[in-house]
Amino acid sequence: MFRGNHPAKVEESGRLKLPVPFKQLLDAANVTDLFVTSEDGERAQIWPLPEWEKIEAQLAKHSAMNDAVSKYLDIVSYYGQQVKIDGQGRFMLPQLLRGAARLEGDLAVMGKINHLEVINRPNFEQKLPARALSADERKLVGGILAGESGS
């Protein structure tokens, strides 16, 4: 569903305007509600609410018995807020997350198949060379693309 990278900026009010290609996908799916969160405080995850509800359903099956699920829910709830997209494709990024992830100035809005990630573009570009795929990682991804189960 979501793919590619589109530059963006946060308005002074803290609102982010979705890049047009991503807004068109949400419009086609009749999605106006999002769940905005983070797993690490370094990047915002933008989930169409129906996609996030699928994750919640899976997590609900395990949350009472699993410390990792409980910790995950603590983090995503701490940073998270449900928001509504306005008619111009804008929505509010949670203030707590904006500060932690430094979501100011130049941003990148990147497609991650079923959700979007928003990151501080200069910080990401600075770290990008260190994130190059190793030979083992390329092999693993190649196996996944070839239909192998991976590890």
CA distance 129 to 42: 17
Instruction: Give all domains of the chain, ordered by start, each with its CATH number.
Output: 5-121 (3.40.1550.20)
Tell me the two tokens of residue 8: 């963006």
pLDDT tens profile 77-133: 999 999 999 999 999 999 999 999 999 989 999 999 999 999 999 998 888 888 888
pTM as predicted: 0.88
Strands 44-48 and 15-17 come out as unpaired
Please report which confidence band the pLDDT of residue 64 belongs to, taking 50, 70 and 90 as the band edges.
Answer: low
Closest CA to 85 of 38, 48, 37: 48
What sign does the CA torsion over 147, 52, 13, 28 have?
Answer: positive
